[in-house]
Amino acid sequence: MKRALNFNAGPAALPEAVLAKAEKEMMNYQSLGMGVMELSHRSKEFEDINDRTNSLLRNLLSIPDDYEVLLLQGGASLQFSMVPMNLLEEGASASYVLTGTWSEKALKEAQKIGNAVIAASSKHGNYKSIPSLSEFDIPAGSSYLHITTNNTIYGTQWHTLPESLNIPLVADMSSDILSRPVNVSSFGLIYAGAQKNLGPSGVTVVIIRKDLLKRSKPELPSMLNYQVYSESKSLYNTPPTLSIYFLMLVLEWAEELGGVKQLEMMNKEKAALLYDVIDRSEGFYKGHAEKQSRSLMNITFTLDNEDLTSVFLREAEESGFIGLAGHRSVGGCRASTYNAVPLENIEKLADFMNYFRNRN
């Protein structure tokens, strides 16, 4: 079978080694005569998967002991509501830095819960950059500051993360978690949908400092309460067992590769190849993001006009490239180069982009 050259933004490519192992175990996990998705979530076998996943996350991301790891459902979009429901203190505000569509949505949901304000924004520049720390205006008494570390639609990424704040830093890391080392101790809470760098859709990772669990009020609905999930080891209700199993396999794959530092080195090499094609094209390809804010995960660019863009996308698909159309809200093109996208696929895309440019 010929594998597609998958550049989808999410759900995205999974490592072939992970898919091969899952295929092998799909019908018969550990000689049980059942697949993982058929196991009881109360069984020892699934509890082992759950514990192994937790342990791998802690090791790969160097998560300190005073942080809890939760495996939830509902995607990052549910966290837009759960974060303020659990962390926004009575009479206080929550501060949000706007760097794209997803941070806008996070703010909108938070405003339904309480007082949420804009601490900084790059919307005036069509989200081509990340605001500098000097631009922040955080009201006194804010319960937390929320950022989105990588912006899939606009192709920007935080390369200098806020540190030493006097309030908890909350980060949506859905599209760049596990792609580079981060200092978890700088954050109060990190959340990430799995379907870009961690596995298939269906499971969301939440990493929360344990002292913040005290903010989760008992009157919250149980299914929206971080404290409830913490006390039950993320097994309060039936979890997304198959997605967690895939998450475990992806984490094992990352560990075997050499961990997050090795993944960062690979991701920098992949992104550099495509940005080099863009920068050397003499304006034929135009990168959306300003250079100092460019994402290592989502390379966004445009061509001269919509007709030429349509031809590019059509010929790219005919050549086996999938998922290169930009988000419907901004158009243009986007190549998502997550951890599982192999270097050889990037090299093929770079060759195609040069070939297309030479012909047009």
Q: What is the C-alpha to C-alpha distance for residues 49 and 227, in angstroms, rounded to an integer? A: 22
Instruction: Let me know if 172 is a catalytic residue.
Output: yes
Token pair, residue 211, equals 């002292």
First to last CA, the chain: 32
Task: Give the C-alpha distances (Å, rounded to integers) separating 75 from 11, 95, 169, 206, 240.
Answer: 12, 21, 20, 10, 11
For residue 116, how many other CB atoms are within 10 A of its CB? 23
Please give the Cα distance from 309 to 118 (Å, whole number): 35
Residue of 31, 72, 114, 65 whose CA lies nearest to 237: 72
Choice among 48, 65, 66, 172 that is catalytic? 172
The answer to whether 259 and 250 are in contact (CB under 8 A) is no
Tokens encoding 343: 């270097």
The letter for the amino acid at 186 is S
Q: For helices 343-359 and 260-279, what crossing angle results, to 10°? A: 0
Catalytic residue among 44, 65, 66, 102: 102
The answer to whether 206 and 247 have CB atoms below 8 angstroms apart is no
Identity (one letter) of the amino acid at 282?
E
Cα(127)–Cα(130) distance, rounded to whole angstroms?
Answer: 7
Q: Which of 158, 176, 196, 270 is catalytic?
A: 196
Cβ atoms < 10 Å from Cβ of 288: 25
Based on the residue annotation, tell me whether 102 is a catalytic residue of this protein.
Answer: yes
Please count the other Cβ atoms lying within 10 Å of the Cβ belonging to residue 283: 8
Please indicate whether residue 217 is annotated as part of the active site.
no
- Positions marked active-site: 102, 172, 196
